[in-house]
Amino acid sequence: MLVRVALIALTLVAIPAAAQAFPSEGEPWHLEVRAPGPPGTQRFARVVAEPEAGSGWWVTVTCGTVRARTGKEAVDLRARGHAAIGRGGQLGGTWTPVGGGTTGGFSVDRPDDRLLDLPVTMAPPCPSGGGDLSTGD
């Protein structure tokens, strides 16, 4: 019985730590999104975020397709922008393509404290779908 109580207490202590896994101000993060593409390919999006002085993050966005058999990537978009966490806990941002072009954006819903298969919506040419978020180093 004592062991069971200790395990329950340990689990309850671990829950707040898991809640901190979503990006916090001042820590870098990386988002990877994959979606089906034309036959033999997969579409991808990568968002790499570095903390901005003050609040939010500077982001670098790369989107394109990858060949399933060879792993060779074709990049459709390289962009830079800014991201922040909104009042509702949603992570989002905007970007401008390197060299100019139409501004785009993305949002990551936080349905719970998981970091894998998060619902991600991205402006074209980037794919929307499930995304994996990595925080810290």
Distance CA(61)–CA(97), nearest Å, equals 9
pLDDT tens, 46-74?
A: 999 999 987 899 999 999 999 989 999 99
**What pLDDT digit, counting tens, does each position of 69-112 carry?**
999 999 999 999 999 988 777 889 999 999 999 999 999 987 66
Q: Give this prediction's pTM.
A: 0.79
Residue ranges of domains in the chain: 2-135
pLDDT of residue 53: 84
The token pair that represents 31 in the structure block? 């988002």
Place 9 in a pLDDT band, splitting at 50, 70 and 90: very low
Contact assessment for residue 82 and residue 57, using Cβ atoms and an 8 Å cutoff: yes
Percent of the chain at pLDDT exceeding 90:
61
The architecture CATH gives domain 2-135: Beta Barrel (2.40)
